[in-house]
């Protein structure tokens, strides 16, 4: 080959290489795409368009452009985690006006970021029996958006929002609107606005999910018939905001460390009817549970029982307009066990007459003369002895002494305050009721912090005293 031929062949070869490197109909990089009938396709877009209804399409690796629209029964199965890339334009996958669609095993990323078009990783509209399973969503505006649909299962996905956005600018991990029979199970949510937002949504199960860092972990608005159980929620303004809804069962959840923005409520419950809150672990929030105007409709119920409510600034925040049965709970070392807003007798019933149990209050003196497991003195927000000592400062020498412990019991039996009876538990428990039953490790988990916060100050004091004595010597 002459030098001239070599010179001409190099640009030609480069041109051919560039042509071959161009993506074809949505495919970027190497991939093998085929269906269960043996047909092979050059791109995922082509496969979705041409595959027969009811087919299963297999995608082995590669990067594929988003903007895919599924309007017939299909199953997409990703092998070796193929990528669906929205390239920051629109929704990555849209499923509309169809039934029996499943998407499994993909990485779905870089959706558009336009609120008016509800750009999402997966958008489901007017569809039935849709299954979104074991996918990874990253850098998506809405993770999964469900509208006017039924029988949607969202299982085992990892959904991460747009971390660099301010909290108010992010969108929700899952947004359900006017849909029925939704199951949201074993998913992980991070850096979203709300983990799961439900607006006029019905017959939904939210179970075994992990929520981290956002506004509300689970948010309900005007929704009905929900079971929310065994979720782990931390790092939100409110772990759950259950608003203007009814027929809710909240059980076996771990709601902890929600302190964002100085608010940090475990459960925020305004104007909600028929709610059962039981067997939950509500620890280390600013407010454990905040109920307002609940139940909203006369004749409805709210029950809070058998929960651990511990190490919050406020254990339970209630108002005069709320009515509930509160019993069998462990109130442990909250800075303020109960914050009651009002000057009339509370409508909360702080015990179960049928079970003859109230709640465990860590601040109550465990005086049990008959050995029935109940403290002999009813629990009340009023501390008459403390008020008396404040009026007679010369008696303050007895404060927190053994004498104070005895006088406290005497005063509670004999002294009637004008505020007596606002909140009263006639059957306070002598020992925590739920720690062992729920298999919790609340004390062990807090032990390292206790040791650090105790030993470091002791060491500082010791070194200071040692140095002071050395100088005097």
Calpha distance 427→429 (Å, rounded): 6
Report the C-alpha gap between 350 and 361 in whole angstroms.
Answer: 12
> What are the DSSP E strand ranges found in 55-106?
55-60, 63-65, 68-70, 74-79, 83-85, 93-96, 99-104
User: Which stretches within 22-139 are classed as H helix?
Assistant: 44-50
pTM attached to this predicted model: 0.82
Note the pLDDT of residue 453: 57
Chain length of the chain: 473
Contacts of 115 (CB under 8 A, 6+ apart): 141, 171
One digit per residue, the tens of pLDDT, for the chain of length 473 reads 555 445 445 555 544 444 444 444 455 545 799 999 999 999 999 999 999 999 999 999 999 999 999 999 999 999 999 999 999 999 999 999 999 999 999 999 999 999 999 999 999 999 999 999 999 999 999 999 999 999 999 999 999 999 889 888 999 999 999 999 999 999 999 999 999 999 999 999 999 999 999 999 999 999 999 999 999 999 999 999 999 999 999 999 999 999 887 789 999 999 999 999 999 999 999 999 999 999 999 999 999 999 999 999 899 999 989 999 999 999 998 888 888 887 677 889 999 999 999 999 886 665 655 666 666 667 776 555 556 666 776 666 665 566 666 666 666 555 555 444 577 888 888 889 887 765 555 444 555 655 565 667 667 766 766 666 665 54
Cα-based torsion angle of the residue sequence 121, 127, 128, 132 in order, rounded to the nearest 10 degrees: -10
Q: What is the structure's pLDDT at 253?
A: 97
Structure-token match 């629109």, residue found: 90
For residue 292, list its beta bridge partners: 270
| Element at 407 (helix H, strand E) | helix 402-414
If one counts every other C-beta atom within 10 angstroms of the C-beta of residue 151, the result is: 17
- pLDDT for the residue 390: 60
Q: Which pLDDT does position 466 carry in this prediction?
A: 63
pLDDT at 418: 47
Alpha carbon of 254 to those of 229, 279, 308: distances in Å?
9, 9, 10
CA dihedral 370, 371, 373, 374 (to 10 degrees): 20
* Sequence-separated (6 or more) residues with CB below 8 Å from residue 117: 90, 91
Query: Can you give the pLDDT at residue 22?
Result: 44
Residue 45 to residue 85: CA distance in whole angstroms: 12
Give me the residue label for tokens 């509300």.
216
Quote the CA–CA distance of 228 and 183 in Å, as a whole number.
10
Classify domain 23-208 at the CATH topology level.
Answer: Pectate Lyase C-like (2.160.20)
Reduced to 3 states (helix: H, G, I; strand: E, B; else coil), residue 229 is strand
Q: Report which secondary-structure segment, H or E, holds 200.
A: none
For residue 265, what are the β-bridge partners?
238, 287
Q: Hey, what are 367's tokens? A: 């005086």
Contact 157, 130 (CB under 8 A): no
What angle, rounded to 10 degrees, do the helices at 402-414 and 384-391 form?
110
Per the CB < 8 A criterion, the answer to whether 207 and 185 are in contact is: yes
pLDDT reported for residue 419: 45
For the chain, the structural domain boundaries read 23-208, 441-473
């Amino acid at each position: 080959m002459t030098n001239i031929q070599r010179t001409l062949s190099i640009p030609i070869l480069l041109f051919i290489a560039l042509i071959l490197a161009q993506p074809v109909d949505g495919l970027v990089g190497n991939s093998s795409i085929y269906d269960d009938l043996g047909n092979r396709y050059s791109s995922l877009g082509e496969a979705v368009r041409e595959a027969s209804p009811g087919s299963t399409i297999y995608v082995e690796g590669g990067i594929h452009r988003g903007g895919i629209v599924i309007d017939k029964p299909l199953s997409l199965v990703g092998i070796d985690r193929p990528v669906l890339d929205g390239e920051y334009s629109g929704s990555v996958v849209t499923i509309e006006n169809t039934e029996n669609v499943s998407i499994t095993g993909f990485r779905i990323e870089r959706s558009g970021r336009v609120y008016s078009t509800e750009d999402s990783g997966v958008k489901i509209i007017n569809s039935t029996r849709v299954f979104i399973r074991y996918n990874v969503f990253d850098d998506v505006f809405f993770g999964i958006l469900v509208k006017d649909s039924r029988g949607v299962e969202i299982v085992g996905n990892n959904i991460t929002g747009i971390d660099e956005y301010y909290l108010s600018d992010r969108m929700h991990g899952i947004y359900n609107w006017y849909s029925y029979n939704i199951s949201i199970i074993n998913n992980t949510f991070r850096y979203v606005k709300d983990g799961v937002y439900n607006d006029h949504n019905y017959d939904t199960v939210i179970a075994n999910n992990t929520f981290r860092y956002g506004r509300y972990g689970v948010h309900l608005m005007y929704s009905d018939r929900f079971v929310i159980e065994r979720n782990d929620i931390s790092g939100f303004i409110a772990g759950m905001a259950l608003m203007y809804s009814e027929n809710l069962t909240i059980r076996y959840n771990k709601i902890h460390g929600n302190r964002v923005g100085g608010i940090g409520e475990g459960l925020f419950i305004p104007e909600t009817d028929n709610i059962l809150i039981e067997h939950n672990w509500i620890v280390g929030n600013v407010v454990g549970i905040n109920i307002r105007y609940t139940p909203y409709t006369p004749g409805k119920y709210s029950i809070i029982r058998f929960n651990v409510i511990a190490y919050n600034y406020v254990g339970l925040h209630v108002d005069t307009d709320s009515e509930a049965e509160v019993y069998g709970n462990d109130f442990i070392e909250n800075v303020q066990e109960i914050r009651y807003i009002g000057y009339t007798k509370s409508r909360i019933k702080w015990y179960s007459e049928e079970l003859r149990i109230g709640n465990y209050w860590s601040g109550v003196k465990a005086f049990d003369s008959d050995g029935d497991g109940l403290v002999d003195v009813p629990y009340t927000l009023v501390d008459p002895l403390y008020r008396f000592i404040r009026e007679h400062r010369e008696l303050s020498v007895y404060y927190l002494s053994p004498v104070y412990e005895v006088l406290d019991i005497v005063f509670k039996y004999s002294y009637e305050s004008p505020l007596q009876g606002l909140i009263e538990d006639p059957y306070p428990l002598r020992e925590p009721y739920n720690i062992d039953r729920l298999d919790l490790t609340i004390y062990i988990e807090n032990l390292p912090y206790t040791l650090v916060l105790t030993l470091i100050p002791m060491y500082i004091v010791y070194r200071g005293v040692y140095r002071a004595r050395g100088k005097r010597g």
